[in-house]
Structure formats: structure tokens, C-alpha cells
Amino acid sequence: MTEQPEGFILRLLGGHCGLAVTFWAFGLGVGIVQTLLVGPVVRDSEGWPVFTTVGISVVFHVLVWVAIWKAANRYEGRPAWSVLAKIAVALWIVSAVTAASLALVAPERLGGSG
């Protein structure tokens, strides 16, 4: 067994918190709450609040995706759960890139001012 790093964030990012906790609690649970908090700021603001909020959101999601991927690599249960977690991460990334592309190309379709 490898030695776990000190500090919760480093353990999480290294995949040491377990696949279920990392995927369900952080990927979905905290991710949903974070998205609900970011939505109104992005929708009702402009300028630096939007850039700051979106920047924090991007960093959060990338770190969670890395944590889920690493937790899936460490997972010792049924291989299907590891594969499904990685597929979910890949789909999240595709979804995020698609949403960002649409927001840049056609912001009026997403409720933006253009």
C-alpha cells in the first residue's frame, strides 16, 4: 500500500479518498451545489465577477475530474465501476467543452446578451 499524502485536498487529488466518495460526494454533490451557486452570478453579472466565477468553476471541475480519474485507477472493486467513472469524466469534459463553445459562438441562445 502506498503512503497517503497529508492533507485532505492532496489525498482527494491523489485518488486516496475512494471512488464512491470522490465521484458521488465531490463530482456530483459538490459539483451540483457549485453549479447552482455559479449560475446566478454568470447569468446576472458581467465583467470580472463572471470571469472570476467561471475561472473558479473551471478549476474546481478539472481538479474533481483528475481526482475521480485517479480514484478510478486505484479502485480495487469491480472493474466496471472504474470504467464507468472514467466514461462519466470523459462525458463531463465533452459536455463542458460543448457548453463553452456554444457560449462563445452563440451566447444569445444560452440567455446571454451576446
Residue 5 lies in a domain: no
- The rounded distance, in Å, linking the Cα atoms of 33 and 80 is 27
Residue 93: domain span: 13-103
- Please tell me the predicted confidence (pLDDT) of residue 46: 75
Residue 89 lies in a domain: yes
Residue 40 lies in a domain: yes
Residue 2 lies in a domain: no
Burial class (CB in 10 A: 0-12, 13-18, 19+), 44: exposed
Instruction: Specify the pTM.
Output: 0.81
- CB 67 within 8 Å of CB 12: yes
Residue 4 lies in a domain: no
Count: domains in the chain = 1
Residue 49 lies in a domain: yes
Residue 25 lies in a domain: yes
Residue 29 lies in a domain: yes
Q: Which parts of the chain sit beneath pLDDT 70? A: 1-2, 106-114
Q: What is the pLDDT of residues 43-71, one digit of tens each?
A: 777 777 777 888 888 899 999 999 999 99
Task: For residue 37, give the C-alpha cell.
Answer: 451557486
Q: Which of these, 29, 48, 60, 51, lies nearest to 103 by C-alpha position?
A: 51
